[in-house]
Amino acid sequence: MTTQRTGRYADAVVAIASGEGGLDAVEDELLTVARAIDGNEQLRQQLTDQHLPVGNRLTFLESSVLTAAHPATRAALAMLIAADRVGDLTDIANEVAERAATSREEEFAEVFVAVPLDDARKAALKAALERATGRTLDLKFIVDDSVVGGVRARIGDTVIDGSLLRRLTDLRGRVGA
């Protein structure tokens, strides 16, 4: 959910990343970090605990995971940690990705899959989704255990659910079970 505040932070991150010539890298890295934090409750609590000094929370940036990150990614994360905005990181990262896609005249789309896809399957899926939507898409692939099989895509406000779970649910509804 984008709020005015989230949008302003996204603007700041885009400005930092663009100024450093790393918008593509920063958008990918922020989405990855946001998902990692969302998936690790202990890390999330540590980074959002306002009772911990900011310096302690900033040690996250020194972790081995972020040593290869673009300097603008590290700067953006430092800004968000210091401003107590880590709780909004997923929304900010999504907004940054949407703005980056727009700058490339594409539309940001998240594709949830059960297992990682090879490049050929990614390209085929991108082509199919672009045909279905009539838009040029910037796809971000996310491995999601809840998908089980198939794919689920979110393109703006549109969700295309071709997951096995969705198909089974539809079948159950048709047979009345």
Q: How many Å apart are CA 76 and CA 17, to the nearest integer? A: 8
Give the count of domains, the chain: 2
- 19-58 per-position pLDDT tens digit: 999 999 999 999 999 999 998 999 999 999 989 999 989 9
Separation between Cα atoms, residue 131 and residue 137, nearest integer Å:
10
The CA R_g of the chain, rounded to the nearest whole Å, is: 18
Give the phi and the psi of residue 106 in degrees, each rounded to 5: -125, 170
Q: Which of 82, 101, 120 is the last residue of a domain?
A: 101
Q: Are residues 139 and 79 in the same domain?
A: no
Q: How far apart are alpha carbons 163 and 85 in whole angstroms?
A: 33
List pLDDT tens digits, range 86-129.
999 999 999 999 999 999 999 999 999 989 999 999 999 999 99
Write down how long the chain is.
177
Last residue of a domain, one of 101, 132, 156: 101
Q: Tell me the residue type at 159.
A: V
Do both 29 and 93 map to the same domain? yes
Cα–Cα distance list, 31 to 110, 120, 123 (Å): 11, 23, 20
CA neighbours within 13 Å on the CB side: how many for 87?
7
pLDDT band of 155, cuts 50, 70, 90: very high
Same domain, 78 and 17: yes
Residue 116, domain CATH: 3.40.30
* For range 146-160, the mean pLDDT: 86
User: Same domain, yes or no, for 141 and 86?
Assistant: no
Task: Please tell me whether residues 157 and 93 are part of one structural domain.
Answer: no
Query: What is the C-alpha separation between 1 and 87, in angstroms, rounded?
Result: 12
DSSP symbol at 103: H
The CATH number of whichever domain residue 23 belongs to comes to 1.10.520
Residue in this structure with the two tokens 């969302």, named with its chain if needed: 38
Same domain, yes or no: 9 and 96:
yes
Do 97 and 113 have their domain in common? no
Residues 9 and 40 reside in one and the same domain:
yes
